[in-house]
Amino acid sequence: MNIEPNNDGWRFDESVGWKLIHNDIDVIFFEETDKAISTQEKLFVGTQEECEAEIARLGLIWPYSDDSENEVTEEI
């Protein structure tokens, strides 16, 4: 579920569950948490699967990866 901004442009959620923050390009935060969160970026809350589907639907880019295939290598 997309959280709409308040009159000051902030999005806020204090539920327990999966939260996705993004800027329409990059994933900024994606984690299961019981903490309240506020942001001026886009905020989506739902199950892990719903958040992953939103990431895929929007084609968001992960700014970091543990995946070695994304590493830049230099050829000599």
From first to last of the 76 residues of the chain, give the pLDDT tens digit. Answer: 999 999 999 999 999 999 999 999 999 999 999 999 999 999 999 999 999 999 999 999 987 655 544 444 445 4
DSSP line for 9-54:
S-EEE--SEEEEEE-SSBEEEEEEESS-EEESSEEEEE-HHHHHHH
pTM of the model: 0.80
